[in-house]
Amino acid sequence: NAGVTQTPKFQVLKTGQSMTLQCAQDMNHEYMSWYRQDPGMGLRLIHYSVGAGITDQGEVPNGYNVSRSTTEDFPLRLLSAAPSQTSVYFCASSYSIFLDIEYFGPGTRLTVT
Amino acid sequence: GENVEQHPSTLSVQEGDSAVIKCTYSDSASNYFPWYKQELGKRPQLIIDIRSNVGEKKDQRIAVTLNKTAKHFSLHITETQPEDSAVYFCAASEGSQGNLIFGKGTKLSVKP
């Protein structure tokens, strides 16, 4: 199993550009989520999904969209990038939302200039 | 909603000493408490977790204790080694739904 994979590893955007961060898992996990990690702020939940076709907002959802058309994929879209979205983004997955371990992807380092 | 406080933010110990990191949480319905280790430039990785029906759990040099009454839990690392140097994050489930709320992290440095 590849586990949780993310692409790209690094990305530089100009303010106002849009892009999609890709996340995929091959463990047949129902639960997937996106976090952003900023220095001194820990990991903050952006959006999550409890299964294909179901998504919900986390702690910091503004400026981001998600969709879950398949169990395997959970892309994160930045609609109009802003410097405040400069961060490291981690995708994670679990067997279910209820009391389970989260497996993290390798991360995407995004810089918005 | 759930709030998780983690202390200290930095911790420096000598090799062989013990290290303790503490977290408090606010939601009495929280019932899952994992700890993650993140080495520089790497992804967070689960090192140990505890569920609310258990007070203590050990895995070799690592242990976690949970006090539900006081709403705090702690990570204990004994006989620290330089490879234990990393940032450690605690987390607590948001009520019984399972979304994890993370603490801000503790940077542990183990000096040889």
Q: Please report residues of A whose CB lies closer than 8 A to that of B91.
A: 43
Q: Are B38 and B45 in contact (CB under 8 A)?
A: yes
**Closest in A33, A43, A99 to B44, CB measured:** A43
The Cα of A95 is separated from the nearest Cα of chain B by a number of Å equal to 11
A86 against B98, higher pLDDT: A86
pLDDT at B47 over 80: yes
Q: Are B34 and B94 in contact (CB under 8 A)?
A: no
Q: Which residue does chain B place closest to A42, by CA atoms?
A: B104
Q: Is A83 left (phi over 0), alpha (psi -120 to 50) or beta?
A: alpha
N-term to C-term CA, chain A: 36
pLDDT at B56 over 70: yes
DSSP state of A103: E
pLDDT tens digits, one per residue of A66-85:
999 999 999 999 999 999 99
**Closest in A40, A42, A97 to B98, CB measured:** A97
> How many residues in chain B?
112
Strand, helix or coil for residue B107: strand
pLDDT tens digits, one per residue of B72-102:
999 999 999 999 999 999 999 887 666 889 9
Determine, for residues A104 and B96 on separate chains, whether the beta-carbon distance falls below 8 Å.
Answer: no
Q: Please report residues of B whose CB lies closer than 8 A to that of A97.
A: 97-99
Report which residue type is found at A66: V
pLDDT at B20 over 60: yes
Q: Could you tell me which residues of chain A have a Cβ less than 8 Å from any Cβ in chain B? A: 31, 33, 35, 40-45, 48, 58-59, 90, 94, 96-107
Average pLDDT in the A48-59 region? 93
Confidence of residue B22 (pLDDT cuts 50, 70, 90): very high
The Cα of B16 is separated from the nearest Cα of chain A by a number of Å equal to 27
Contacts of B41 (CB under 8 A, 6+ apart): none
How much of chain A, in percent, has pLDDT values that exceed 70? 96
